[in-house]
Structure 1
Amino acid sequence: MQALPPNFYTQDVDAVAQALIGVILTVDGVGGPIVETEAYDAADPASHSFVGRTRRNAAMFGPVGRAYVYRIYGLHRCLNIVCGTPGSAVLIRAIEPRFGLDVMRQRRGVEMASRLLCSGPGRLCTALAIDLTLDGASLNELPFLLTDAGESPQIMTGPRIGISKAADRMRRYGLKHSPWLSRQFPDESAALHHD
Structure 2
Amino acid sequence: MRIQKDFYARDAITVSRELLGKVLVRNINGITFKGKIVETEAYIGAIDKASHAYGGRMTERVKPLYGPPGIVYVFSIYGMYNCFNIITKEEGTAEGVLIRGIEPLEGLEEMAKRRFDKDIDTLTKTQRKSLTNGPSKLCIAFSIDKNDNWVDMTKSESIYLEEAKEAKVLSDEEIVETTRIGIDYAEEAVHFPWRFYLKGNDWVSKK
Provide TM-score, normalisation by structure 2: 0.85
Summarize deviations over 1:83-141 as a string: whole Å, max 9, x none. 01410000000100111001101111344332110000000000000011001111121
Gaps of 5+ in 1: 185-195
Tell me, in whole angstroms, the C-alpha distance in 1 between the residues paired with 2:152 and 2:2.
13
1:21 Cα deviation (Å)?
0.1
Match of 1:163, SS state, is: coil
Alignment match, 2:151: 137
Alignment match, 2:86: 81
Alignment match, 1:45: 49
Match of 1:14, SS state, is: helix
Query: Conserved in 2, the CA contact under 8 Å of 1:97 and 1:114?
Result: no
Summarize deviations over 1:126-167 as a string: whole Å, max 9, x none. 000001100111112121121112122321110000111111
Alignment match, 1:147: 162
Match of 1:118, SS state, is: coil
1:46 Cα deviation (Å)?
0.4
Gaps of 5+ in 2: none
1:13 Cα deviation (Å)?
0.6
Alignment match, 1:66: 71
Query: Conserved in 2, the CA contact under 8 Å of 1:38 and 1:173?
Result: yes
Please tell me whether Structure 1 or Structure 2 has the larger radius of gyration of its CA atoms.
2
Number of residue-to-residue matches in the alignment: 183
Match of 2:68, SS state, is: coil
For residues 1-195 of structure 1, what are the structure 2 equivalents within 5 Å? 2-28=1-27, 29-42=32-45, 43-51=47-55, 52-85=57-90, 86-111=93-118, 112=123, 113-140=127-154, 141-149=156-164, 150-153=167-170, 154-164=174-184, 165=186, 166-184=189-207
Provide TM-score, normalisation by structure 1: 0.90
The root-mean-square deviation of aligned C-alpha atoms, in Å, is 1.1
More helix by percentage: 2
Tell me, in whole angstroms, the C-alpha distance in 2 between the residues paired with 1:27 and 1:167.
32
Summarize deviations over 1:58-84 as a string: whole Å, max 9, x none. 001011110000111111000000001
Aligned partner of 2:204: which letter? L
Identity %: 36
Match of 1:133, SS state, is: helix
